C-alpha cells in the first residue's frame, strides 16, 4: 500500500513539474493569450483603417466630388470661379 501512495505522489510531482515547467506550461499559455489579445486589437484597428480606405476609393471612383475634396485638402487647390481667402492671426504679445 505504501508503494502505491509513493507512486501516486511521484506521479503528482511529475505532473506538477510538467504543468509549471514543461512544454505548454501555464506561463506560456498566459503569454500566448496576451499575444492573441494584442493581435485581435491590432486586427480591429487595421480593419477600421481598411474600411476608411475602401470608402475613399469608392468616393474617388464614383465622382468628382471626392476628387475635388482631396485636391483641396491635400494640394490646396481651388476651383475656377472660387475666391481664396487666407486668414492670418497676429499674436499681440
Give the pLDDT band (50/70/90) at residue 26.
Answer: confident
Stronger pLDDT, 3 or 60, i.e. the higher one? 3
Number of domains, the chain = 1
Stronger pLDDT, 66 or 2, i.e. the higher one? 2
Question: pTM of the predicted model, to two decimals?
Answer: 0.52
Q: Is residue 72 part of a domain?
A: yes
Give exposure, 43-53, as e/b (b: 16+ Cβ within 10 Å). Answer: eeeeeeeeeee
pLDDT tens, 37-87?
Answer: 999 999 999 999 999 999 888 877 887 777 788 788 888 888 888 887 888
Q: Is residue 91 part of a domain?
A: no
- How is residue 39 written as a grid cell? 493581435
72 vs 43: CA distance, rounded Å? 32
Give the pLDDT band (50/70/90) at residue 90.
Answer: confident
Place of cell 491635400: 74
Q: Is residue 13 part of a domain?
A: no
51 vs 82: CA distance, rounded Å? 33
93 vs 91: CA distance, rounded Å? 6
Structural domain containing residue 55: 24-78
Amino acid at each position: 500500500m505504501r508503494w502505491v501512495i509513493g507512486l501516486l505522489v511521484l506521479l503528482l510531482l511529475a505532473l506538477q513539474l510538467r504543468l509549471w515547467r514543461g512544454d505548454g506550461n501555464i506561463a506560456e499559455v498566459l503569454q500566448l493569450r496576451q499575444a492573441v489579445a494584442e493581435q485581435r486589437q491590432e486586427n480591429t484597428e487595421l480593419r477600421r483603417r481598411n474600411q476608411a480606405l475602401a470608402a475613399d476609393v469608392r468616393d474617388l471612383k464614383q465622382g468628382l466630388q471626392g476628387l475635388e475634396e482631396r485636391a483641396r485638402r491635400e494640394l490646396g487647390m481651388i476651383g475656377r470661379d472660387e475666391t481664396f481667402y487666407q486668414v492670418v492671426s497676429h499674436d499681440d504679445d
